Chain A
């Protein structure tokens, strides 16, 4: 028996990261069903907490974990492309509401940038953190490259994106139910604007229509933010 070798495999094999992520997700989905889909039992939130628990318990570093987990993360690319399919299924809805949607997506893009930087400025956060906040509302790859371009910290921007995505995914349904904004198209568009992919994953559980418009809003918001942030960032100086 060679227990050291076994331990080394557990720690350094990419398989461990893949297995732990899949298991955490499976358990998170079962928990979510047990809770009858309660917003706080969000599978991303619970899944992340389970992985964090495992990492801390075994003393595994994030880098070691990512050796395997990045294979799962890599599927985000094809998944983003796949969002075109539900969008096409909603083509007639999209055409009918094209004008209002365009106006709201532009407004949402501005709101996403200005609200994060504005509140951060009121709270006296350092300049570089404010720059990293400009991309809070868009999907991670756009956030990281745009943030770097204007002098923010890409990793910090990625964290802001993920934390607000999880928060948005948890809050959107209760918030919109209280305010009577239950329409699938409205819910989906707002979610895509504010909570990008993690929000999109959440509203796909609610309806395909909401998911389709969330994916559209996420994509266009990413494009607008990539154009707007470099134009607006110099105003911060």
Chain B
């Protein structure tokens, strides 16, 4: 139980720090994303992961899907707007999602393969 509290102290603390910095300096990043970068830098600096985070974070993140269900249900509130554009929106969203998966994916694969090839040569 105590280790749960310690985990929350880390995560909420870094989110709060992120929110504070983001608001104070009017940064384009939301608090949680900034908090993630700050925690990452902290871990790099201390060269290890605290026990509470090492134990609890994988369990927490394995249920990340749960946290998106409320936002998904918002389609109910906006169904009229969405239905108004119907098929065009379906085409735009699916085409853009597939393109944004493929272009960087293929490029990364090629760059990594070239590097691997160089290392072996």
Q: Which residues of A contact B (CB under 8 A)?
A: 17, 21-22, 24-25, 28-29, 42-45, 47-48, 51-52, 55-56, 61-63, 65-66, 69-70, 72-73, 75-89, 91, 97, 99-101, 103-105, 107-108, 111-112, 115-116, 119-120, 123-125, 129, 133, 136-137, 139-142, 145-146, 155-156, 158-160, 162-168, 171-172, 175-176, 179, 181, 183, 185-187, 189-191, 193-195, 197-198, 200-202, 204-205, 208, 211, 215, 219, 222-223, 226-227
Q: Which of B30, B38, B74, B76 contacts A141 (CB 8 A)?
A: B30
Provide the main secondary structure of the chain B interface. Answer: helix
State the CA gap A155–B80 with chains docked (Å). 13
User: B37 near A84 (CB under 8 angstroms)?
Assistant: yes
- B1 in the interface (beta carbon within 8 A): no
Given known A100-B115, A219-B37, contact A79–B108 (CB-CB < 8 A):
no
State the CA gap A136–B90 with chains docked (Å). 13
State the CA gap A191–B39 with chains docked (Å). 22
Sampled A-B contacts (7; CB under 8 Å): A25-B69, A52-B75, A79-B67, A82-B11, A89-B49, A108-B100, A123-B92
Question: What are the 7 tightest A-B residue pairs by CB atom distance, in nearest-first order?
Answer: A226-B28, A48-B72, A190-B105, A100-B111, A69-B70, A108-B104, A201-B64
State the CA gap A159–B12 with chains docked (Å). 26
**Within the complex, what minimum Cβ distance (angstroms) separates B101 from chain A?**
4
Chain B residue numbers with a CB within 8 Å of A91 are: 44
**B88-121 contacts to A (CB < 8 Å):** 88-89, 91-109, 111-112, 115
State the CA gap A84–B38 with chains docked (Å). 8
Residue of B62, B82, B105, B112 with most partner-chain A CB within 10 A: B105
User: B78 near A155 (CB under 8 angstroms)?
Assistant: yes
Q: Which of B14, B68, B104 contacts A198 (CB 8 A)?
A: B68
Q: How many residues of B contact A (CB 8 A)?
A: 72
- B3 in the interface (beta carbon within 8 A): no
User: B93 near A163 (CB under 8 angstroms)?
Assistant: yes
User: B61 near A204 (CB under 8 angstroms)?
Assistant: yes
User: B31 near A77 (CB under 8 angstroms)?
Assistant: yes
Q: Which of A61, A81, A103, A167 contacts B107 (CB 8 A)?
A: A103
Provide the main secondary structure of the chain A interface. Answer: helix
User: B67 near A72 (CB under 8 angstroms)?
Assistant: yes
Chain A residue numbers with a CB within 8 Å of B33 are: 80, 139, 142, 219, 222-223
Q: Which of B18, B72, B104 contacts A105 (CB 8 A)?
A: B104
Indicate with 1 or 0, residue by residue over B28-70, a CB within 8 angstroms of chain A CB atoms: 1111110111111001100001000110011011111111111
Chain B residue numbers with a CB within 8 Å of A193 are: 100-101, 104
State the CA gap A76–B100 with chains docked (Å). 24
Q: Which of B15, B36, B73, B101 contacts A55 (CB 8 A)?
A: B73
From B54, which residue of chain A is reached at the shortest CB distance?
A85
**B5-35 contacts to A (CB < 8 Å):** 8, 10-12, 14-15, 18, 28-33, 35
